Every structure is written in structure tokens, then in C-alpha cells.
């Protein structure tokens, strides 16, 4: 990013001589040197010099020039009316945009109009609806550290969601970052020495080192205190206070507040930029939630879809998203991102979902009502920032109007959670009534031009409007009155934007014009006049209109302030409606897709007829599978050909746990599950070319994280560990990992592998068992049954899959020949080694596919200790020749080949 533009050099050279306007621009560029300043000049936002060139190039607009006594400056302007799309382009290109608006009415000042930066638009602090691309949260983060701990704060400025946490280990922080996926981060002074912030936040996040001062304990503490009271009672560690304080300062700064020196804090604490709607700071310990790090979120496709074959387009959240409003959608994301560990809370959600599953009518009623719920969090944040218009207030009132009906719909609820929601849903009746009494039903976008406040709400306003109305009526009647008085039938009364009201008389009737008419304008065939009374009336109308508009704006602001004062209650209501919406969505999905209520808290995984929630929607006939892990047998080695369903099965077990702990029902006939503290995944990786790490390196790094972080309550998915290195090394690592997880950790583990040797671990390690996926051969073609069964698979069918994928016949045939040859040769040598320690077996297996044929438990010769001699090899090959089906030529060739080998 080359965001720091600073003031243009050319202006710096003659800074003292700049025109007043350019001097303003120059100073703003100096002050906001980390941003691209867009400077209002009338209906445009202008940029000059280097910034202008950037804007012109990125936004594809013309680069022009501005010339004054001090020189010529490159200039590019974007129209204010649709500035958003241009700003979006600049954000995408990595800029912060400082919007410098005219803060005085140009008509009312002589000389240069004052301009001030009213907001700094950055990727993580967006509040503009047009720039927020989805209802999902958009977070900005702050990270800091002392030498001991790391503190992380996360804030969604558009909704007021604010979180803080801390950890000793930067990896734990990276995991939390992964959950929230902030769009932007500021980092404190010591972070650079302790870790690589770009690594922690990832490439999609704009990371900037920020003013050290605001991270100081006292400065930060004071700021946190000004919002939420004593920081020490709220937060667990100084690093959390530092991160939260700095983040608040940054958020204020982007809302046009001052960047904080100690003195300025007191000023901003009450002034411009303050985020009054921030009422809650949620301090949490990552250990309170099932941990899903970035790798797991990604590989389980909870939010983002990886580019893999099949099940197009859908993520877990999409699949579950039957929410009716934006509040619910965000809450759903949060529940999936942070599944619970507390059994009681999990059960609480399940009980509520169960009740809703069983009551279609209530569910439908609630869905209907919740569809009418606006995004209260963003509305109240706009209200508190003074950016809400009258329509926003009406939307808020409309939402409040739905609350009593929502309450009524769950009045008889029996589950604790629904009953509690019924009890605590707060209709804020007074707020709704105030808005409904004061604000018109269909107000305009603008709040300063009248038509906002209802007649009858305010006497002063009504009087002014009456004066305006009667004045206009008098003028409306004037044409008829004057025609009668003067006898001029063609006399016209009309209004002109510049000259105001006039009476028009054609030249033919000039002699009938009365004395009191004063000439104003001469046209080709007519004259326009005013009378003193018309002038007086006009002034009266104008004054009344002006004062009425002002009065309306004042009344509107009063109502808006009154609503803002209740922002905490509105936020609490938003949270409850969101909860209800997610519960209803869970109920809907469960009812429509045949999910069951899981029991949680035992020590076994016992899923009957489980399905993958996403894949089952894309497959016409999804095959349900059981999953059974007992307290004593927690490690499954899964074999089966490519495409047989191993990955799908493993993910479905993990997703079932995630869903259950998020509070949802699960796609299965029945399910008993433990409370899983963390899901680890090590499933296929793409090369991190930019990061300079090979597939194997990534694989090993992820594996290292798993081995150091997993507990006996964790769920581990391992897919093809050791694929990126030689088969012997890979197998050795796979076996050693199996032993370690089995002996030392005891986590629930699903390990899919093509190393059939690994299935032997089931014989040696009591907690390990084998599963495999079955396939059938029908007319020479492989049919995948997608059915899991105990034991190990017999063959890999890699070549058949290659054929299905469209590899040319010649290559497929050649592969078969090679494979047959190798099988013949290796089955002999294999007999000597399978079942021993793979790390020391030293035999030359050359690919995963081949290794898949090793160690199938039910092959009797697997365990035989025979040594591979040439004779044994030859005899086997001879035995395997199927003379009955060979052509004479093939028989001749085979014989010649064998003879040749004996001769050697
Ligand atoms: N239980 C099932 N019922 C129906 N179709 C399934 C089932 N499981 C998987 N499939 C289908 O089979 C495809 C392959 O499954 P999956 O990717 O799980 O295979 P795999 O054994 O892990 O393959 P590989 O070893 O190549 O990674 C999936 O994309 C899905 O469309």
C-alpha cells in the first residue's frame, strides 16, 4: 500500500504563497498524512497533484488542471452525489480516504469557505450503507503487547459490537483474528519486535502501526473509562485495556475526532468523533468457546468456500441461513464462529429450537414478523452518530411496532430461552410513540427541507406552516381577484426561481394596468409586475417557510437525541431479536431438512445416519453414515479410494459437532456428542507461494500446531498427512503422529490415508480402529457407494478415478500395466514389512496409490514374514499369469520377459 501521500511537494515549496483555499487543502494533507484527502469544492470532492493522478487513474476520471497565481496544479474531482463508488475503488486500492467537507454555507460567508475532515473512511471502520457490502460484521482490530501477553480488541463501528481478549501466545491471538476476520488493524509499538503482524492478520487485512501514545496504559485506560467505567473491573489484563483504548481512539479519529494527545483526549471525550452508541465491551476468554482457528474455519468451509470440486457455492452458514433479518444473520455468523462449551447454554438453545421445530405456526408467524425487523444495530449507531435521517427513525419505529406481536407469538413458550426472550423483549413503547407522533410516515431523505414533522405535533411549527399556507392560498387566489379588479382576462400570476412571484400582463392590455403595479421585468409581448402587498406576502411566506423548516429540523434532532439516549435498550432489543431469529432459522432448517436434536456432554461420539449439511443439499442421493467413537476408541484410520467420500465424512463429523455446540440441531437420525473444545483440521493445502512455504512445509506447520494444541476433548481431522514428501517419510510421520495422538493426547481423531500400512496401527494401539469406504466394480467401472464400514479398504482405484476424470485411454492403460507389474513385485516385498515399524521398513514404495494396497487387514499374506527373493517373485508372477485369457502373442511376450529376467 502506498497510502501515505502527505502534502503535495509543489505546494510545500511555496506554502506561504498559496491561495487561501489551496492553503487549506495543504494543511489538511499535512495533518491527515496517512490518508488521501478528498476536498469539497462545491459539488465535487477534489484531489490535487500526486493524489489527483492516483484518483484519476484508479477511478478512471479525467485529470484536469487548476491554475492560480502560485502555479498550475493537477486536479481530479469526483462528484459528491455518487462519491461512494469512487471511494470504494480507493479503499480497494489500499487507501484511507479523509473526506474534507465544507462546514460553512458558501452563501453566508465572504471569502474562503471553512473545510474540515468530517470522517476518515477506512476498510475496517465503514458505516456507510453503500460501502458495507453485506449485513455481516465489518471489524477493525487493535493488537498490542507487553513482553508477556498480547491484547486484541475488535470493533464493528457500524453496529457497536466490541470485543477484547488476550493471550500469552500469538498463535492464540491469530486464531481469534481468524474468527473475526477484521478488514483492518492498528498495531501498537512493541508488536513489530514480538511477531509479524502481517502474518497474524493475513493478506486481506490493512495493517498499520499506529500512534504509540494512544496505546499507553493511562491514556488508553482513561478513554475506555470514559465509555464503560472502570477498565480494571471490565478487562482482565493491561494489554486488553491498551488495545481497547487505542481502538476507541482510532475509531473516534476516523469519525472526524482529533488524533489523541493526552490533552486532546479530554476534548474528544465529550466532543466530535465520540461513539456514543458503544455501550458494551465484551471481554471474553477464547477458552469459553469451541476454538475454530483460521485453518479450521477455512477447511470446514463455514464462511468462505474453498475452490474445491462439487457442492457449488454454499458454505455452512449459507446452508443454515434461514434468518429473516440482518440482525439474525450476524448473530448466526457469531454463533457458528464461536460455538459454546457450556453444556447448559447449549441445551438451552436446543430446547428452544425443539420447541420451534414442533410448532410450525409459531415459527411461520415469527419469520413473518422478523422479516419486518430493520437492522436496529446499524440504525441506532447512525442515530447516535447524528447521521440518521427521518426515514431511519421511521424504520426504527416500525421495528419497535413489531415487538409486541413478537412477544405475543412466544407468550406461551415453555423452553427457558424462549420464555426469557418473551419476558425481556422490550418494545420501547415511549420511543416508538414519540417517533410516530413526531415524524411523518413517508419523510424525505433530507432532514433540513421540511416535510419531516407531522402536523399537530408542535404548535409553533403549525402556526408557521399555517402562515405559509394561507399566504400561498392568497397568492393562488390572486389571479382570479386581479382579473376581476382589472378586467384583464389574460392576467397571470406565477413564480420565477430568481425573481419570485409576479403578475404578468400582455402588452395589449398595458393600458388596463392599475397604478399600484410596479414593473419588474419586460418580455417580448408582456410585462411582469409586483404589488407591494404581493411582495409583503411573498416575504411572509418565505420567512415562514424558512422558520418552519428550521423548526422541523430542530424538532427532528430533538427526537433523534431522545432516541439516542435509549441506545442501550435498543441494542439489547436488537440482540434478543437476533437470538430469536437464529433460533427460528435453526428450527426451520431442522424441520425442513430432517435434523435431530443431539445430546451433548458425554464422552462418546455416537451419530446414527449422519449427513454432511452442505453436500447433502447438492447430492441427489446422499448416503447417511454412522460415526461411533467410544471413550476407549477415539482414533479412526480411514481408508478408501479417491472420491469415495472420506473427506466428506470427516468434515461431516466436525460440522455436526460445530452445529450442535452452536445450538443447532444436526443432520442425523440421532446423535450423542461430547463437548469438543477445539476442532483441528489438517486437510489438503495449497502452496503458499507468496509466503515462500511449500505444501509440505504448511502441512507440517499445521501438524505441529495440532500436536501442541490438542487436548483429549479436541476433534482432529487429518487428511493425507505426509503427502508432500517421499512415501517412506510420509508414512513414518503418519505413524508417529498416530502414536503420539493416541498415547499422549487422546483426542477424537479421524485420519484419512492412502497409506494402508497405517491401518496396522489398529492392531498395535488399543484406541485406534479402522474404517473404510466401499466401492464396487460394475462392468469394469468403479461405483462409489459412499458407505463407511469397519475395517480397511482393499484397493484404491486411483487409476479408475483418473479414467473418470478424462485422462486419455493410452495413459490409463499404461498406468494399469505399470500398477499390475508393481503389485506383482511389491506384494512379495510387502509381505516382509507390513505390520512392522514403518519408520524403519526402508522399502521402496513409490507412490500413495501403490501404498494404498498395503496392509489391508484381511489380506492373509500381509502378516507373513517371507523375504522377497527373485525366485519367490518369479513364481508369483508366473502364478498370476492368467493363461486362459491371454492371446498367444501375449503369452509369448510374457514368457520372453520372464526368460530374459532369469537370464540376467
Ligand atoms: N455420503 C455421500 N453420499 C453421496 N455422495 C457423497 C457422499 N460422500 C461424498 N460424496 C460425493 O463424492 C465426492 C467425493 O467425496 P470426497 O471428496 O469426500 O472423497 P475422498 O475420498 O475424500 O476423495 P480424495 O481421496 O480424492 O480426497 C463428493 O464431492 C461428493 O459429491
CATH, residue 49: 3.40.1170.10
* Residue 722 within a domain: yes
Q: Residue 641, annotated ligand binder?
A: yes
Same domain? 45 vs 106: yes
| CB 615 near ligand 1, within 6 Å | yes
| CB 722 near ligand 1, within 6 Å | no
| CB 639 near ligand 1, within 6 Å | no
Same domain? 582 vs 612: no
* Residue 448 within a domain: no
Q: How confident is the model at residue 272 (pLDDT cuts 50, 70, 90)?
A: low
Q: Residue 645, annotated ligand binder?
A: yes
Out of 744, 778, 795, a domain closes at 795
Q: Which helix (H) or strand (E) holds 635?
A: strand 635-639
Q: Which domain holds residue 84?
A: 9-121
Same domain? 608 vs 586: no
| CB 802 near ligand 1, within 6 Å | no
Write the pLDDT tens digit of every residue in 23-75: 889 888 888 888 899 999 888 999 988 888 988 888 888 888 888 887 888 89
* Residue 273 within a domain: yes
Same domain? 188 vs 111: no
Distance CA 76, CA 426 (A): 50
Distance CA 760, CA 755 (A): 10
| CB 775 near ligand 1, within 6 Å | no
Distance CA 788, CA 849 (A): 20
* Residue 295 within a domain: no
Same domain? 629 vs 774: yes
Out of 776, 795, 814, a domain closes at 795
Closest listed residue to residue 366, CA positions, set 335, 411, 331, 321: 411
DSSP, res 321: -
Phi then psi for residue 696, to 5 deg, are -65, -40
Indicate the top mutation candidate among 301, 607, 647 to test ligand 1's pocket, ranked by most ligand atoms within 8 A of CB.
647
Same domain? 755 vs 616: yes
pLDDT attached to residue 797: 59
Same domain? 644 vs 786: yes
Cβ contact 127:261 at 8 Å: no
CATH, residue 181: 3.30.420.110
Distance CA 690, CA 694 (A): 10
Cβ contact 472:465 at 8 Å: no
pLDDT attached to residue 85: 84
* Residue 820 within a domain: no
Q: Residue 647, annotated ligand binder?
A: yes
Same domain? 504 vs 605: no
Residue 686 in grid coordinates = 495449497
Residue 498 in grid coordinates = 430568481
Q: How far is the CA of 784 from the centre of ligand 1 (A)?
A: 9
Q: How far is the CA of 786 from the centre of ligand 1 (A)?
A: 7
Distance CA 795, CA 853 (A): 6
Distance CA 101, CA 46 (A): 11
Same domain? 722 vs 695: yes
Distance CA 431, CA 500 (A): 42
Same domain? 661 vs 786: yes
Confidence (pTM): 0.77
Q: How far is the CA of 309 from the centre of ligand 1 (A)?
A: 10
User: Which of 255-269, 648-662, 788-802 ranks highest by mean pLDDT?
Assistant: 648-662
Sheet hosting strand 64-68, strand order edge to edge: 64-68, 71-79, 44-48, 36-41, 97-102, 115-121
Distance CA 667, CA 582 (A): 17
* Residue 226 within a domain: yes
Write the pLDDT tens digit of every residue in 593-644: 999 999 999 999 999 999 999 999 988 889 999 999 999 999 999 998 878 8
Cβ contact 632:626 at 8 Å: no
Atom of ligand 1 nearest to the CA of 784: 12
What is the interface pTM, i.e. ipTM, of the complex? Answer: 0.98
* Residue 537 within a domain: yes
Q: How confident is the model at residue 82 (pLDDT cuts 50, 70, 90)?
A: confident
Place of cell 514428501: 725
Q: How far is the CA of 870 from the centre of ligand 1 (A)?
A: 41
Q: How far is the CA of 647 from the centre of ligand 1 (A)?
A: 6
Same domain? 573 vs 634: no
DSSP, res 113: P
Sheet hosting strand 625-629, strand order edge to edge: 599-600, 670-673, 605-610, 625-629
Provide CB contacts within 8 A for 109, sequence distance 6+.
none
Distance CA 156, CA 158 (A): 5
Write the pLDDT tens digit of every residue in 332-378: 999 999 999 999 999 999 999 999 999 999 999 999 999 999 999 98
Atom of ligand 1 nearest to the CA of 308: 29
Q: Is the pLDDT of residue 840 over 50?
A: no
| CB 647 near ligand 1, within 6 Å | yes
Out of 535, 560, 585, a domain closes at 560
CATH, residue 532: 1.10.1420.10
Residue 146 in grid coordinates = 507487553
What is the count of structural domains for the chain? Answer: 6
Q: How far is the CA of 642 from the centre of ligand 1 (A)?
A: 8
| CB 640 near ligand 1, within 6 Å | yes
Same domain? 580 vs 692: no
* Residue 404 within a domain: yes
Of 322 and 257, the one with more pLDDT: 322
CATH, residue 715: 3.40.50.300
Amino acid at each position: 500500500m502506498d497510502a501515505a501521500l502527505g502534502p503535495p511537494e509543489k505546494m510545500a515549496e511555496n506554502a506561504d504563497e498559496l491561495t487561501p483555499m489551496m492553503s487549506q487543502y495543504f494543511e489538511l494533507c499535512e495533518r491527515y498524512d496517512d490518508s488521501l484527502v478528498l476536498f469539497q469544492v462545491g459539488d465535487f470532492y477534489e484531489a490535487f497533484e500526486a493524489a489527483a493522478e492516483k484518483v484519476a487513474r484508479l477511478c478512471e476520471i479525467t485529470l484536469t488542471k487548476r491554475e492560480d497565481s502560485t502555479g498550475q496544479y493537477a486536479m481530479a474531482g469526483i462528484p459528491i452525489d455518487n462519491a461512494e463508488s469512487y471511494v470504494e475503488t480507493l479503499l480497494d486500492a489500499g487507501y484511507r480516504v479523509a473526506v474534507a467537507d465544507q462546514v460553512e454555507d458558501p452563501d453566508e460567508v465572504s471569502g474562503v469557505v471553512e473545510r474540515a475532515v468530517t470522517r476518515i473512511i477506512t476498510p475496517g471502520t465503514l458505516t456507510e450503507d453503500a460501502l458495507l457490502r453485506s449485513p455481516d460484521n465489518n471489524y477493525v482490530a487493535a493488537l498490542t503487547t507487553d513482553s508477556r501477553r498480547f491484547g486484541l480488541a475488535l470493533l464493528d463501528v457500524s453496529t457497536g459490537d466490541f470485543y477484547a481478549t488476550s493471550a500469552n501466545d500469538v498463535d492464540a491471538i491469530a486464531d481469534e483474528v481468524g474468527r473475526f476476520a477484521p478488514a483492518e488493524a492498528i498495531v501498537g509499538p512493541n508488536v513489530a519486535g514480538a511477531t509479524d503482524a502481517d502474518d497474524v492478520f493475513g493478506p486481506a487485512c490493512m495493517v498499520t502501526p499506529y500512534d504509540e501514545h494512544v496505546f499507553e496504559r493511562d491514556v488508553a485506560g482513561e478513554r475506555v473509562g470514559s465509555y464503560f467505567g472502570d477498565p480494571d473491573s471490565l478487562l482482565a489484563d493491561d494489554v486488553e485495556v491498551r488495545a481497547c483504548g487505542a481502538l476507541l481512539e482510532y475509531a473516534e479519529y476516523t469519525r472526524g475526532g482529533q488524533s489523541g494527545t493526552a490533552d486532546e483526549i479530554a476534548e474528544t471525550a465529550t466532543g466530535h468523533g465520540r461513539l456514543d452508541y458503544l455501550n458494551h465491551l465484551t471481554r471474553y476468554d477464547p477458552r469459553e468457546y469451541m476454538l475454530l482457528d483460521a485453518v479450521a474455519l477455512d477447511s470446514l468451509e463455514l464462511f468462505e468456500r474453498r475452490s474445491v470440486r462439487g457442492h457449488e457455492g454454499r458454505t455452512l452458514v449459507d446452508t443454515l441461513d434461514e434468518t429473516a433479518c440482518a440482525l439474525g444473520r450476524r448473530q448466526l455468523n457469531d454463533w457458528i464462529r464461536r460455538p459454546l462449551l457450556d453444556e447448559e447454554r447449549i441445551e438451552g438453545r436446543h430446547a428452544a429450537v425443539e420447541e420451534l421445530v414442533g410448532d410450525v405456526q409459531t415459527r411461520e408467524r415469527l419469520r413473518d414478523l422478523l422479516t419486518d425487523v430493520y437492522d436496529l444495530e446499524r440504525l441506532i449507531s447512525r442515530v447516535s452518530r447524528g447521521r440518521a435521517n427521518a426515514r431511519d427513525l421511521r424504520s426504527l419505529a416500525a421495528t419497535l411496532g413489531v415487538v409486541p406481536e413478537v412477544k405475543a407469538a412466544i407468550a406461551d413458550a415453555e423452553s427457558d430461552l424462549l420464555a426469557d426472550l418473551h419476558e425481556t423483549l422490550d418494545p420501547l413503547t415511549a420511543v416508538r410513540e414519540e417517533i410516530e407522533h413526531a415524524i411523518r410516515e413517508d419523510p424525505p431523505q433530507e432532514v433540513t427541507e421540511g416535510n419531516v414533522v407531522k402536523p399537530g405535533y408542535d404548535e409553533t411549527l403549525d402556526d408557521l406552516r399555517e402562515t405559509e399556507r394561507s399566504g400561498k392560498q392568497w397568492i393562488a387566489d390572486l389571479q382570479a381577484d386581479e382579473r376581476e379588479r382589472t378586467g384583464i382576462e389574460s392576467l397571470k400570476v406565477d413564480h420565477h426561481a430568481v425573481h419570485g412571484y409576479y403578475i404578468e400582463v400582455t402588452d395589449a392590455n398595458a393600458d388596463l394596468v392599475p397604478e399600484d403595479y410596479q414593473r419588474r421585468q419586460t418580455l417580448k409581448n408582456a410585462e411582469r409586475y409586483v404589488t407591494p402587498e404581493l411582495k409583503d406576502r411573498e416575504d411572509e411566506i418565505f420567512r415562514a417557510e424558512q422558520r418552519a423548516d428550521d423548526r422541523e429540523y430542530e424538532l427532528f434532532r430533538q427526537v433523534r437525541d431522545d432516541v439516542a439516549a435509549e441506545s442501550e435498550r435498543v441494542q439489547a432489543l436488537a440482540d434478543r431479536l437476533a437470538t430469536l431469529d437464529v433460533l427460528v432459522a435453526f428450527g426451520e432448517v431442522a424441520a425442513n431438512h430432517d435434523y435431530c436434536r443431539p445430546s451433548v456432554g458425554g464422552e462418546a461420539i455416537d451419530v446414527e445416519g449422519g449427513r454432511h449439511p452442505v453436500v447433502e443439499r447438492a447430492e441427489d442421493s446422499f448416503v447417511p453414515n454412522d460415526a461411533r467413537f467410544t471413550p476407549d476408541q477415539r482414533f479412526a484410520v480411514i481408508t478408501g479410494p479417491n472420491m469415495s467420500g472420506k473427506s466428506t465424512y470427516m468434515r461431516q463429523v466436525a460440522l455436526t459437532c460445530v452445529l450442535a455446540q452452536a445450538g443447532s440441531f444436526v443432520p442425523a437420525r440421532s446423535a450423542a456428542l461430547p463437548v469438543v473444545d477445539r476442532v483441528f483440521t489438517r486437510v489438503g493445502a495449497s502452496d503458499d507461494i507468496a509466503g515462500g512455504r511449500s505444501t509440505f512445509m504448511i502441512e507440517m506447520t499445521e501438524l505441529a500446531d495440532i500436536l501442541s494444541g490438542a487436548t483429549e476433548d479436541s476433534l482432529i481431522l487429518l487428511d493425507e498427512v505426509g503427502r508432500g514428501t517421499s512415501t517412506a517419510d510420509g508414512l513414518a510421520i503418519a505413524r508417529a503422529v498416530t502414536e503420539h495422538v493416541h498415547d499422549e493426547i487422546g483426542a477424537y481423531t479421524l485420519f484419512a490415508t492412502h497409506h494402508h500400512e497405517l491401518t496396522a496401527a489398529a492392531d498395535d494401539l488399543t484406541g485406534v480402529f479402522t474404517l473404510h469406504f466401499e466401492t464396487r466394480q460394475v462392468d469394469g467401472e468403479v461405483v462409489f457407494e459412499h458407505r463407511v464400514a469397519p475395517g480397511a479398504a482393499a484397493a484404491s482405484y486411483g487409476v479408475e478415478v483418473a479414467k473418470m476424470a478424462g485422462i486419455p485411454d493410452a495413459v490409463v492403460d499404461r498406468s494399469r500395466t505399470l500398477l499390475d507389474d508393481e503389485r506383482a513385485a511389491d506384494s512379495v516385498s510387502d509381505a516382509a514389512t507390513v505390520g512392522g515399524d514403518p519408520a524403519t521398513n526402508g522399502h521402496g514404495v513409490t507412490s500413495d496409490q501403490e501404498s494404498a494396497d498395503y496392509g489391508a487387514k484381511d489380506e492373509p499374506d500381509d502378516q507373513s514374514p517371507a523375504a522377497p527373493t527373485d525366485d519367490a517373485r518369479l513364481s508369483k508372477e508366473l502364478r498370476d499369469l492368467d493363461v486362459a485369457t491371454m492371446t498367444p502373442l501375449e503369452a509369448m511376450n510374457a514368457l520372453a520377459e520372464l526368460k530374459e529376467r532369469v537370464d540376467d
